[in-house]
Amino acid sequence: MQCNFKETMDKKTIENQINELRDFLNRCNYDYYVKNSPKISDYEFDIKLKELEKLEKENPEFFDPNSPSQRVGSDENQEFKQVKHKYSMLSLANTYSEGEIRDFDARIRKLLPEGEEFEYACELKFDGTSISLTYENGLLIRALTRGDGQKGDDVTNNVRTIKSVPLKLYGEGFPKEFEIRGEILMPHSSFEKLNQERTEIGEPLLANCRNAAAGALKTQNSAVAAKRGLDCYLYYLLMDNLPSDSHFENMKIARSWGFKVSENTVKAKNIDEIIAFINYWDKERYNLPYDIDGIVIKVDKISLRDTLGYTAKTPRWAIAYKFKAEEAAVKLLSIDYQVGRTGIITPVANLEPAHLAGTIVKRATLHNEDIIRSLDLHENDTVYIEKGGEIIPKITRVDLSKREEGSKPIEYITKCPVCGAQLVRNEGEAGHYCPNYNGCPPQITGKIIHFVTRKAMNINCGEATIEMLYNQGFIKNCADLYELKTSDIESLERFGKKSAENLIKSINDSKSVPFERVLYALGIRYVGEGSAKLLAGDFGNIDAMIAATEEQLSETHDIGEIIAKSVYSWLRKPENLEILNRLRAYGLQFQSVKTEKDENSSEKLSGKSLIVTGSFATPSRREELEKMVSQNGGKLQSSVNSKTDFIVAGEKPGASKIKKAEQLGTKIISEEEFLKMLE
């Protein structure tokens, strides 16, 4: 009895410790992502988070989906369920002029009793994707998209990864159950980082933050959503008994519970104050770290909203003023065709300089041939450019009234503008690319620049230095870096003996970089940091990858057909194999460092291919099971095929995986059956 009592007390102590860590970390997230006022360093936060993760792993009975440890998301594919909204999620009527705003005000006054005093709440109209959050007992339980207004997609797993969304509320006075609505958006900084990553692996750039946010929110993999740097602003509280009859006050109260509510909301006594607010933000919006596309005007007094009512599609008590995208008519001077390191050709329009959205615009991306064709661009056309909701200026249309007589349509190039190679366009792809990847100068220097970056080989060498070394004939590929001498570098402009020695040391130090980073550094199209790590972990060394078939490469967990095809093709080219052999001879790592096997390791799954799918006791449990597959000599797959031996299925396994397994006759086993196999 005494032992049981002591064990109970110990468990209670651990539970209290876990809850204290969760509360502390939730508060840190709130300070950092909502209040923009961090109280501890990133390092201190990470230490506390690791402490929590360890305790949760050792004590799975205390699992909580709203724990800050769950912010990273899961890599389990999900099929979004349609859930009915408790309150219809209507859209707002749009207006584009001051006159229409005054008409809206006049309609309000006509519908309300004569002499009724009221104010408006004026809010920024975030350019993202709408979301509805439901809380019970202070915990997030559901997140739905707008959908058709009556039903929306359940994207709770993805929303849990957004660090400005509170998983557990603070303060006091929040009701047992309520709903709050807002906007999921992608800040400019996250958008620019995402496009940089896409550039590095040779994927086309995303056009704007709004589409990027919507795509991230609807990704089938919440671990991917977690990496997208999304943010969330809330602006509408719904419940049976609201704290106040003022919408403005309700949102202040919601802020005290831990929600991110814009500080830029104001109350306006009359239409002139609304117009002043609109005019201010029409200019000031370009200084915000995210996109807005207008202003929302709402009757502030909740009780009056019932009197005003709704149309079939929109509330009568609110309206959205949409900013007109700022545009300028400029002359098209010429088109340049840029060559990326993966050979992708990007057409860029050179324009007469124009002041637009707070900057001087001289160039605008045209993305690909299809865009040029859809615009029907001719030489010397007068074109309209805009930057509203766009990070990258774009051409939206042509002023045909100013087209010069006899001007010729823009003909997309057929040969590389640098090396002259015939361009290629693969079926299903929008862009052309230059196939002369080992002879085209911008591709060569681009690959070497990528090779030396911090996330790859971490060689302390800038773009200008790489281009100088290439132009003076010292390097023609990344392997040549390891043959450089101090005397070679000393001869370069702005270099001395000390700086040359430092560069040589940095090159030599890079020989200890692990295999997965070397694989990423090679610059194989579509192979980013994550996929390089997966391939290195699955195959263990470069020789196994070279020997693998395209199908075997695609069987790697989370590696699809496109990446597999690209890797297989790259490893079949003699010139690439020559560079690999040189790099290997210089001492670079082309084999994963094996860790000592623990007592649970074996070869019991040798030659077997398995998939782990569904939900288990804790999210980390799925990772543990996947680790067991590798520890015991098995191969982890991400998709079911004829070579899949077993599917380890938890609760709610992927429907498509189960269906495919049943078609192929693949054996489906439980976690318990899987563990018995390892006994």
SS3 for 475-522, per residue? Answer: CCCHHHHHHCCHHHHHCCCCCCHHHHHHHHHHHHHHHHCCHHHHHHHC
Considering the domain 441-512 in this protein, what is its CATH number?
1.10.150.20
The answer, yes or no, to whether residue 578 has pLDDT greater than 80, is: yes
E strand spans, 114-230:
120-126, 129-136, 139-145, 151-153, 177-185
Distance CA 125, CA 235 (A): 10
194-203, 214-223, 421-430: least confident range:
194-203
Angle between helices 619-631 and 42-58 (to 10 degrees): 80
- pLDDT on residue 622: 75
Output phi, psi for 34, to 5 deg: -105, -50
- pLDDT on residue 197: 79
DSSP state of 324: P
Cα 214 to chain center, whole Å? 10
Considering the domain 327-402 in this protein, what is its CATH number?
2.40.50.140
The set of residues, in sequence order, having a beta carbon less than 8 Å from that of 464 and lying 6+ positions away, is: none
Predicted confidence (pLDDT) per residue in 255-300, tens digit: 999 999 999 999 999 999 999 999 999 989 988 999 999 999 999 9
SS3 content of the chain, % helix, strand, coil (to 5): 40, 20, 40
Distance CA 540, CA 534 (A): 10
- pLDDT on residue 661: 86
Q: What is the mean pLDDT of residues 23-31?
A: 84
Predicted confidence (pLDDT) per residue in 94-140, tens digit: 898 899 999 999 999 999 988 899 999 999 999 999 999 999 999 99
Pick the CATH number of 84-322 from 3.30.1600.10, 3.30.470.30, 3.30.70.1400, 3.20.80.10: 3.30.470.30
Is 150:85 a contact under the CB 8 Å cutoff? yes
129-136 and 139-145: which strand pairing? antiparallel
Alpha helices in 367-426 (DSSP H): 369-375
Predicted confidence (pLDDT) per residue in 141-166, tens digit: 999 999 888 889 999 999 999 999 99
Is 400:379 a contact under the CB 8 Å cutoff? no
Distance CA 471, CA 281 (A): 49
Looking at domain 609-677, what is its CATH homologous superfamily? BRCT domain (3.40.50.10190)
CA distances from 154 to 144, 145, 220 (A): 5, 7, 12
Output phi, psi for 405, to 5 deg: -65, 135
Q: Residue 242, class by beta-carbon neighbours within 10 Å (0-12 exposed, 13-18 middle, 19+ buried)?
A: middle
Distance CA 630, CA 601 (A): 9
Average per-residue pLDDT for the chain: 87
Q: What is the mean pLDDT of residues 576-587?
A: 95
Alpha helices in 31-166 (DSSP H): 42-58, 98-111, 156-159
pLDDT band per the 50, 70, 90 thresholds, residue 53: confident
345-356 and 82-84: which strand pairing? unpaired
70-74, 198-202, 219-223, 480-484: least confident range:
70-74
Distance CA 513, CA 593 (A): 11
E strand spans, 260-307:
266-268, 292-299
The answer, yes or no, to whether residue 47 has pLDDT greater than 90, is: no
- pLDDT on residue 593: 75
Q: Residue 31, class by beta-carbon neighbours within 10 Å (0-12 exposed, 13-18 middle, 19+ buried)?
A: middle
- pLDDT on residue 69: 83
Distance CA 314, CA 91 (A): 6
Q: Where in the chain is the domain with CATH 2.40.50.140?
A: 327-402
Pick the CATH number of 2-70 from 1.10.3720.10, 3.30.460.10, 2.70.50.60, 1.10.287.610: 1.10.287.610
The answer, yes or no, to whether residue 198 has pLDDT greater than 80, is: no
For residue 486, give the amino acid letter: T
DSSP state of 32: I
- pLDDT on residue 327: 81
- pLDDT on residue 2: 47
| SS3 of residue 624 by DSSP | helix
Q: Where in the chain is the domain with CATH 3.30.470.30?
A: 84-322
Distance CA 644, CA 609 (A): 5
For 600, the enclosing helix (H) or strand (E) is none
DSSP secondary structure string, 207-252? --HHHHHHHHHT-S-HHHHHTT--EEEEEEEE-SS-S-SBHHHHHH
The set of residues, in sequence order, having a beta carbon less than 8 Å from that of 64 and lying 6+ positions away, is: 22, 70
Predicted confidence (pLDDT) per residue in 522-574, tens digit: 999 889 888 898 899 889 899 999 999 998 898 887 787 889 999 999 999 99
- pLDDT on residue 4: 59
Which CATH architecture does the domain made up of 515-585 adopt?
Answer: Orthogonal Bundle (1.10)
Q: Which of 644, 661, 640 lies closest to 607, judged by CA? A: 644
- pLDDT on residue 372: 93
The answer, yes or no, to whether residue 618 has pLDDT greater than 70, is: no
Half-sphere exposure (CA, 13 Å, Cβ side) for 278? 24
Q: Which of 257, 242, 249 lies closest to 121, judged by CA? A: 249
The answer, yes or no, to whether residue 636 has pLDDT greater than 70, is: yes
pLDDT band per the 50, 70, 90 thresholds, residue 596: very low
Tokens matching residue 228: 């997208």
| SS3 of residue 111 by DSSP | helix
Q: Which of 592, 451, 575, 469 lies closest to 510, judged by CA? A: 451
Name the residues annotated as catalytic.
125
Tokens matching residue 426: 């693969």
